[in-house]
A and B are shown apart, each in its own frame.
Chain A
Amino acid sequence: MGLTAAAGLFLAACGGLANPEGWSTPSFQNDTLYYFPDRDTLVAVEVDEQGPRTAVWSFPDTALEDERDIDVEAVYGDLVVTDDAIYFAGWEGHVYAVEPEEGRLLWTTHNRISITGSVVGGVLHHDGRLFFGTTEGHFYALEAETGTIAPGWPEEGFTFDKGIWATPVLLGDRIFIGTMTGEVHAISPDDGSPVWADPFESGTGAIPELALIDERLLFVPTLGKTVYLLDPDTGQEAYPSFLTEDWVWTTPAYGDDFAYFGDFAGLIHALDITSGRDRWTFDTGAKVKAGPAIVGDVLVVADREPVVHFIDIDSGERLNAVPLQGAGTVRANVVERGGVAYVLTTNGRLFRAEPDRLAVTEVSITGAPN
Chain B
Amino acid sequence: MIGTIFDTILLDPMVNILVVLTELLFGSFGIAIIAFTILIRIATFPLTLRQLNQTRAMQQLQPTIQELQKKYSDPKRRQQEMMKAYREAGVNPLGCIGPMLLQFPILIALFYAIRAVLPQSPEALEGLSGRLYDIAFIQHAVPLEEYFLGLDLRSPSIIMVFFVATTTWAQMKTTVMYTTDDRMKMQQQLMTWMLPVMLGFFALSFPSGLSLYWTVNSVVGVGFNIVTYGFPALGIQPLISVRQPPKKPEEQPEEGPAAEPASTKSAARSSSAATKPSRTRTSHGSRRSKRQNRRRRS
Contacts and interface: CB of A to CB of B under 8 A. Distances in A.
Interface of A: 1-12, 14-21, 23, 74, 76, 91, 120, 162-163, 165, 180, 182, 203-206, 208, 223-225, 246-247, 249, 264, 287, 289, 331
Contacts of A287: 129-130
B175 A11 contact: no
In the A-B complex, list the 3 residue pairs whose CB atoms are closest, starting with the nearest. A20-B121, A12-B202, A205-B140
A120 B124 CA distance: 13
Interface of B: 51, 100, 103-104, 107-108, 111, 115, 120-126, 129-130, 136, 139-143, 145, 168, 171-172, 175, 191, 195, 198-199, 202, 205-207, 210, 214, 217-218, 221
A1 B59 CA distance: 14
A15 B221 CA distance: 23
A16 B139 CA distance: 27
B219 to A, nearest CB: 12
Contact of A289 (B111, B126, B205, B206): B126
B195 A5 contact: yes
A5 B198 CA distance: 9
A180 B100 CA distance: 40
Given A4-B168, A225-B139, A17 B126 contact: no
B168 A246 contact: no
19 contacts: A1-B172, A1-B195, A5-B191, A6-B104, A8-B202, A11-B206, A12-B202, A14-B111, A18-B120, A74-B121, A162-B143, A204-B140, A205-B142, A206-B142, A223-B129, A223-B140, A223-B142, A225-B139, A264-B130
Contacts of A205: 139-142
Contact of B171 (A4, A16, A74, A204): A4
A7 B121 contact: no
Main secondary structure of the interface of A (DSSP, over half): loop
A20 B210 CA distance: 19
Contacts of B136: 204, 224
A1 B175 contact: yes
A223 B207 CA distance: 24
Contacts of B218: 4
A15 B108 contact: no
A162 B140 CA distance: 14
B171 A1 contact: yes
A20 B122 contact: yes
Nearest to A2: B100
Contacts of B198: 8-9
A223 B142 CA distance: 8
B134 to A, nearest CB: 9
B122 A120 contact: yes
Nearest to B115: A18
A224 B140 contact: yes
Contacts of B130: 264, 287
Given A1-B172, A1-B175, A7-B107, A15 B129 contact: no
B40 to A, nearest CB: 13
A69 to B, nearest CB: 21
A224 B168 CA distance: 40
Given A4-B218, A7-B111, A74-B121, 9 more contacts: A4-B168, A7-B107, A12-B202, A15-B202, A15-B205, A15-B206, A21-B121, A264-B130, A287-B130
Given A4-B168, A12-B202, A18 B121 contact: yes
B20 to A, nearest CB: 15
Given A18-B121, A21-B123, A224-B140, A246 B115 contact: no
B126 A180 contact: no
Contacts of B124: 18
Given A1-B175, A4-B221, A224-B136, A10 B108 contact: yes
A303 B136 CA distance: 25
